[in-house]
Amino acid sequence: MSYSATPYMLDHGSGYGLVSRGFHWLMALLLTWQFLTALLHVIDRQRAVSAMAWSTHHDVGFLLFVLVLLRGLWGLSNAGRRPAHAGRLGRLASLGHLALYALMAYVPAVALLRQFGSARAFSPFGIPLMKGGGEKIGWMTELGSASHALAAWALLALIGGHLAMVMVHHFVWKDETAARMVG
């Protein structure tokens, strides 16, 4: 009898495979931490716990940016195999997922752009990504300051909508949607 791990790694008609689930839950975990660091920063940035949490915000944000790019590429390569979203509600769900991707990419991207424009060095996890120095680039810092936080809170609201829809599927319509990513 031959055994192949491939079906469990790839997405299929009735659910997401191991890789897609790995991306989904790892990013859900890191995003939860990221919003927690932002919330503590807003509430009282002077407290030791807030400062400790905030000290990870830039690095984890960079990691989230790398992960969303990889996840997007993986999603594209699995697009034909993913569970179908049929009908008007299905199209709305696909649009919602697309909006989640757009914001998950835009939020860290515009922060990294601002970091670059600020001409300050940036070495996430010790990787010398931006060496700093040189001229400040005004439009980059302005765009980042005008939209990073705003887009991030919009992302949080959209995640709230996503969670609400998963709950409606599971507890009201009692269908198999939650099992695609969970069970």
Give the footprint of ligand HEM on this chain (CB under 6 A): 20, 24, 28, 31, 34-35, 38, 41-42, 57-58, 61-62, 64-65, 75, 83, 85, 93, 97, 100-101, 104, 107-108, 111-112, 115, 145, 148-149, 152-153, 159, 162-163, 166, 177-178, 180-182
For the bound state, the minimum distance from the C-beta of residue 174 to ligand HEM, rounded and expressed in Å, comes to 14
For the bound state, the minimum distance from the C-beta of residue 32 to ligand HEM, rounded and expressed in Å, comes to 6
Question: Smaller CB distance to ligand HEM: residue 34 or 50?
Answer: 34
122 pairs with which residues across the strands?
A: 130
How many beta carbons lie within 10 A of that of residue 61, not counting itself? 23
Q: How far is CA 72 from the centre of its chain?
A: 10
Is 124:55 a contact under the CB 8 Å cutoff?
A: no
CA 123 to CA 58: how far, in whole Å? 9
For the bound state, the minimum distance from the C-beta of residue 2 to ligand HEM, rounded and expressed in Å, comes to 29
Rg (CA), the chain: 19
12 pairs with which residues across the strands?
A: 15
Q: Which residue is nearest to ligand HEM (CB)?
A: 61
